[in-house]
């Protein structure tokens, strides 16, 4: 049977030569029964045979083996359009059949056409080596891709789990923060309430010390007055008795009047001193309960405060010296200054001076501030404790009359009420100096 005359494939055969002549590979078109139908130019060159000499010849012309055996090996290619390696060996040593595939599908009446590719041995080997390498690389890349996908999936799951965990922790943390904030706010409220109570207690304690001092001071002049009045009363009774018995002499009367005059002057002096003490006490006491600014002379006001310590300092080797300039008049909270001066002097008496010594009050204007200081020549403070003396409840006399609030209250009053600064310098066995700086603008009466 002449395949070329089969009109069913004549068009495909003609197109094959036209298309494959332009390819760099050798191509042979064969039928399923092993007949060579067409070859392209490259295949003729590789096989060293003209195309006309190859057409309509069996593959046994160029392939080793019997035709039936060759036809049997061609069967897989009549059913696959994917190139597959050809297990046929060419008689020409310089050429090699690389692969084969279905060219046109077979029908009940048509014979399938198969394309066989021919290459030079070296290029074919290189081609298959490269192809195999590419296949291996692709397989490896696919494996790596799958592994990367698995790792990515695993990492994504871990991240989602971590995010959920973080969200849960954040929620728990927010709840804890809210709870803790509420607890701290309650604690702060309680501390502020306790602080107000303690400050008020300290103010009352300071006032109590003031009252005790003034009471002690008043006791002496009042006692003198009582004694004087008693003497006058006794002598007056004696004069009346002598007058009734007509035994009153001029000399006795003159002596009575002279004694009465001396006692009256002594009692008047004591009463003036008592009035002065009461006036100072009333002023300081009123100021401690009144937080309204007023104008006052700083030196005179400090004298009134020092006067309340007279009972404690009388017959004592401790002296309080007021070196404040007479000309310093200020407009401020007198009660706050009273607390500051009282607590500073008490601090020196309780902690600074153990036996005898001097406490000096000084004040002067420096640039734009009033510099007020209280200095003693007592035992001093260890450098390690300087930074703690303004802390609440810090005291070296706990259990011995010290509350640890005196300097803390002074610190708060200076910082918050007077808008100033307070510092402490000290040397052991040399003394302590506490300095208060108050802006001048805070001490001037606004117009």
Residues 6+ apart with CB under 8 A from 165: none
The pair of structure tokens assigned to 391 is: 């802390």
Tens of pLDDT along the chain (447 residues) come to: 444 445 556 777 878 888 888 888 888 998 888 899 899 888 888 888 888 988 999 988 888 888 888 888 888 877 766 777 777 888 877 777 877 777 766 555 666 788 888 877 655 444 444 445 655 677 788 888 888 888 888 889 999 998 998 899 899 899 999 989 888 888 888 877 876 776 666 666 655 655 666 666 677 678 778 877 888 888 888 888 888 888 888 888 888 888 888 878 878 877 876 776 676 566 555 545 556 788 999 999 898 888 877 767 777 889 999 999 999 999 998 888 888 898 899 888 888 888 889 999 999 998 889 999 999 999 998 888 888 888 876 776 554 555 566 788 888 889 988 999 999 999 888 899 999 999 999 888 776
Residues 6+ apart with CB under 8 A from 34: 58, 59, 60, 67, 70, 71, 74
| Residues β-bridged to residue 424 | 434
Task: Quote the distance between the C-alpha of residue 410 and its chain's center.
Answer: 31
The three-class DSSP label of residue 390 is coil
- Model pLDDT, residue 124: 46
In 3D space, the residue among 124, 94, 132 whose CA is nearest the CA of residue 24 turns out to be 124
121-244 and 250-288 helices, crossing angle to 10°: 160
- Which contiguous run of DSSP H or E holds residue 123? helix 121-244
In 3D space, the residue among 5, 1, 24, 22 whose CA is nearest the CA of residue 13 turns out to be 5
In 3D space, the residue among 413, 445, 437, 412 whose CA is nearest the CA of residue 332 turns out to be 445
Residues 6+ apart with CB under 8 A from 441: 368
The pair of structure tokens assigned to 221 is: 């002049």
In 3D space, the residue among 273, 304, 312 whose CA is nearest the CA of residue 288 turns out to be 304
Question: What number of CA atoms fall less than 13 Å from residue 107's CA on the CB side?
Answer: 5
In 3D space, the residue among 44, 41, 36 whose CA is nearest the CA of residue 20 turns out to be 41
- Model pLDDT, residue 18: 81
Residues 6+ apart with CB under 8 A from 77: 84, 86, 100, 101, 102, 114
DSSP 418: S
- What is the Cα–Cα distance from 63 to 75, expressed in whole angstroms? 16
- Model pLDDT, residue 128: 45
Give the burial class of 303: count Cβ atoms within 10 A of its Cβ; 0-12 exposed, 13-18 middle, 19 or more buried: middle
Q: Long-range contacts made by residues 124-127, C-beta under 8 angstroms, separation at least 24?
A: 124/96, 124/98, 125/96, 127/98
The three-class DSSP label of residue 295 is strand
């Amino acid at each position: 049977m002449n395949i070329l005359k089969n009109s069913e494939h004549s068009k495909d055969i003609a197109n094959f030569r036209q298309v494959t002549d332009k390819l760099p590979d050798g191509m042979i078109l064969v039928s399923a029964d092993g007949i060579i139908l067409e070859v392209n130019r490259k295949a003729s060159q590789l096989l060293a045979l003209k195309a006309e000499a190859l057409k309509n010849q069996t593959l046994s012309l160029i392939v080793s083996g019997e035709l039936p055996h060759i036809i049997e090996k061609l069967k897989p290619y009549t059913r696959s359009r994917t190139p597959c390696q050809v297990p046929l060996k060419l008689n020409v040593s310089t050429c090699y059949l690389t692969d084969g595939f279905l060219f046109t599908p077979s029908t009940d009446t048509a014979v399938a056409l198969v394309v066989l590719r021919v290459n030079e041995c070296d290029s074919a080997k290189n081609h298959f080596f490269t192809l195999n390498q590419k296949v291996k690389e692709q397989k490896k890349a696919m494996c790596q891709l799958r592994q990367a996908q698995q790792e990515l999936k695993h990492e994504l799951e871990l991240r989602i789990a971590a995010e959920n965990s973080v969200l849960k922790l954040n929620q728990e943390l927010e709840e804890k923060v809210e709870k803790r904030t509420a607890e701290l706010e309650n604690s702060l409220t309680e501390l502020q309430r306790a602080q107000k109570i303690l400050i008020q207690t300290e103010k009352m304690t300071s006032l109590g010390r003031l009252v005790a001092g003034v009471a002690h001071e008043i006791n002496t002049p009042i006692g003198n007055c009582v004694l004087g009045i008693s003497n006058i009363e006794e002598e007056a009774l004696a004069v009346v008795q002598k007058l009734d018995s007509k035994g009153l002499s001029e000399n006795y009367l003159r002596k009575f009047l002279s004694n009465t005059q001396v006692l009256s002057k002594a009692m008047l002096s004591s009463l003036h001193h008592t009035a002065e003490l009461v006036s100072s006490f009333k002023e300081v006491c009123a100021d401690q309960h009144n937080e309204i600014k007023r104008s006052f002379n700083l030196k005179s006001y400090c004298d009134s405060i020092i006067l309340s310590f007279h009972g404690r300092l009388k017959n004592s080797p401790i002296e309080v010296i007021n070196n404040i300039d007479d000309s310093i008049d200020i407009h401020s909270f007198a009660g706050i200054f009273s607390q500051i001066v009282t607590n500073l002097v008490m601090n020196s008496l309780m902690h600074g001076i153990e036996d005898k010594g001097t406490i000096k009050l000084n004040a002067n204007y420096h640039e734009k501030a009033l510099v007020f200081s209280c200095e003693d020549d007592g035992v001093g403070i260890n450098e390690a404790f300087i930074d703690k003396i303004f802390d609440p409840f810090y005291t070296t006399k706990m259990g011995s009359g010290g509350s640890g609030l005196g300097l803390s209250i002074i610190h708060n009053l200076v910082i918050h009420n007077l808008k100033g600064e307070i510092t402490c310098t000290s040397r052991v066995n040399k003394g302590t100096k506490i300095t208060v700086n108050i802006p001048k603008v805070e001490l001037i009466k606004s117009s």
